[in-house]
Structure 1
Amino acid sequence: MKFLLLILTSLFTVGVSAEVYKCTDAGGNKVYRSSPCSEGYKNIQIDLTTGKTVDLDEEKKLQILKAQKEQEELEHKQLEEQQENLRKLQIINESKKNQLLIKENPNKFSAFAIPPYELEKLTPLVKRYEGRLAEIERLRGIAAQKALASGQCNRVESSELNERSTKDLLVFLVDCTNTKSFYFDQNQLAKQ
């Protein structure tokens, strides 16, 4: 103990450093140094002015874990962004299919029969089901075609998500020029 105090005191008084490193090997042998321990030693930093000790090996592990967590969070965020971009692309594609259907069949659909739902301007009803917007856009087109196929609808004026929708069952309302209206739920439309 006296030897340790002598080493510590001499290092402090010479002004080499206010820090000392206690290096412990696998056999429990301790060596005190003025620089960090080499690989394979347990590395404890001692602040001579405050007496505070820091386990540098543990600190290094914590830094590695923190860096890994930050990397995982970054990857998770990137994955979420990719999924959101894919979802938006699916919505756009389904809307384009509906617009193409209208363009190719102007005598069966009014120009605004299936206007695209815009993410920034969703009605409260559609906003409730925002996560299923690509599916909603697809089913709106199918509902309009099913109404026409019934032979009772001469021309589609609108095909919209309806208030009768629930979390488990989407319902669509198709209004026709001849004042005929049709309600279809997603199960009926899935058969198409």
Structure 2
Amino acid sequence: MRFILVFWGILFSAHATASVYKCTGSDGKTAYQSTPCLAGQSNVELNVKTGSATDLDEQRKQQEEQRKKLDQDKLEREKLKQQQAQLHKAAADESAKNQLLIKNNPEKFSAYAIPPYLPGQLPDVAQNYQDRLPDIERLRRQAAEQALATGQCGRVEASELNVRSSRDALVFLINCSSGKSFYLTEQELTQ
């Protein structure tokens, strides 16, 4: 009778808790218990029903690594967001300089000679070079001024980034009221 009670007790306790914890201390002694191991012991959960084992220390380590990776990804996204905000501000500052130049020199520049390139609304040719938008806006202004300096351009009607551009060599097309057009490269403008 006693054997039957012990058997039923073991059977019900196995169904009540399907997990047993294998705890190994730093001294190498192993203990099996129904509660998680103490800190400083290796912690392996044994599932009595399935016979599987889960190394909880390894699982915790993987979760910590995943959390660190997610935190790192979040920091990188924030950094990229800040860089884009700075880039957009620098481009807006250059566009403002272009508009001020046009406003102060209406006899030399058409009102639409250097329309601002706005992030999110870029012409197709400028979309590939979004990360250089402040440079593009500055160089459009310089290209227009250089065309005027030749004496062959009475008034700038348009100064635009041209399809001949590449990442390392931007090209600008300047159209003048005289019908003359100029193609100026980034290298020519930065000499």
**How is 1:58-73 mapped onto 2 (pairs within 5 angstroms)?**
58-73=58-73
TM-superposition CA deviations, 1:145-189 (whole Å, max 9, x none): 111222222221111112332333111111222223222110111
Structure 1 residues 23-38: aligned runs within 5 Å: 23-38=23-38
With 66-75 and 124-133 compared, the bigger mean Cα shift is at 124-133
Q: In 2, distance between residues paired with 1:28 and 1:110?
A: 85
Spell out the pairing of 1:38-53 with structure 2 (5 A cutoff). Answer: 38-53=38-53
Asked whether 1:106 is paired with 2:109, we answer: no
**Aligned positions, number:** 184
**Which of 14-23 and 151-160 deviates more?**
14-23
Distance 1:137 1:174 in 2: 13
Return the offset for 1:96. Answer: 1.1
Letter of the 2:87 partner, please give it.
R
Deviations 1:128-149 (A, max 9, x none): 3233222111100011111122
- 1:63-122 Cα distance to aligned partner (Å, 9 max, x none): 111111111111111111111222211221111111111111112111111011233333
> In the alignment, is the contact (CA less than 8 A) between 1:22 and 1:31 conserved in 2?
yes
The two structures have a TM-score, normalised by structure 2, of: 0.87
Query: C-alpha separation between the residues in 2 aligned to 1:88 and 1:43?
Result: 52
Gaps of 5+ in 1: 1-8
Distance 1:66 1:11, change over 3 A: farther
Is there any run of 5+ residues in structure 2 with no aligned partner, and where? 1-7
Following the alignment from structure 1 to structure 2, what is the Cα–Cα distance between the partners of residues 108 and 23?
84
Q: Distance in 2 between matches of 1:43 and 1:164?
A: 64
* Separation of aligned partners in 1, 2:165 and 2:21: 69
RMSD of Structure 2 on Structure 1 (CA): 2.1
User: Is the Cα–Cα contact under 8 Å of residues 12 and 48 in structure 1 kept in the other structure?
Assistant: no
Partner Cα distance (2:61, 2:35) in 1: 19
1:126-145 matches, within 5 Å, as: 126-145=126-145
Q: Counterparts in 2 of 1:108-187, with a 5 A limit?
A: 108-187=108-187
Structure 2: how far apart are the matches of 1:11 and 1:93? Answer: 77
Q: TM-score, normalised by structure 1?
A: 0.86
Percent of residue pairs identical: 44
CA distance in 1, matches of 2:11, 2:93: 72
